[in-house]
Amino acid sequence: MSTPTAQQPPALPVTFRPTHTRIVLLTVGAVMFLVITAVAVTLERLSTGERISFVFTALLFLGVLWLLSRPKVVAEESGVTVVNITRVRRLEWAEILRVNLRPGDPWVFLDLSDGTSLPVLGIQPGIARQHAITDARALRALADARAGGSEPR
């Protein structure tokens, strides 16, 4: 499979997400849940209510880590869906003016036609820097190709 270049955007639909980060977060969450639940079951001095609170706390930790692993970007013919931790935003291609991933940025930012900037947590260079750079370039190529094709003539 070839890597998309600035001249050749990837085929649509395409989903960008920080896979390594997602694997780490979900693995840590599952292990924490299992360990805390095992402790709750094996400690003889705990009452039923205390055991339930241990399991509830483990579920809470797992839920928070699941939320942190949720971000993604889905690019389709009709536009882009940005899924961040708790919010989902749908954008038309014409709304995206620029895709930015500058050195030191924690994730990609989209400059939008309404003058705002939208953080895109689905492309972040934390654990897999080169993968994030490749994804940012692919999203930029898609935005450039779609914006050029959607402008009035």
Instruction: For residue range 26-84, list pLDDT tens digits in order.
Output: 999 999 999 999 999 999 999 999 999 999 999 999 999 999 999 999 999 999 999 99
Asked if residue 7 has pLDDT above 70, the reply is: no
Q: What is the pLDDT of residue 126?
A: 82
Helix (H/G/I), strand (E/B), else coil: 9? coil
Q: How far apart are CA 64 and CA 62, in angstroms?
A: 6
Q: Where are the domains of the chain?
A: 23-68, 72-148
- CA distances 148 to 100, 131, 141, 144, Å, are 18, 26, 11, 6
pLDDT computed for residue 9 by the predictor: 84
Q: Which CATH architecture has domain 72-148?
A: Roll (2.30)
**Model confidence over 87-122: pLDDT tens digits?**
999 999 999 999 999 999 999 999 999 999 999 999
Question: What ranges in 7-128 are assigned the alpha helix state H?
Answer: 19-42, 48-68
pLDDT at 148: 59
Cβ neighbours of residue 78 closer than 8 Å, sequence gap 6 or more = 92
Q: What is the pTM of this model?
A: 0.82
pLDDT band at 146 (very low <50, low <70, confident <90, very high): confident
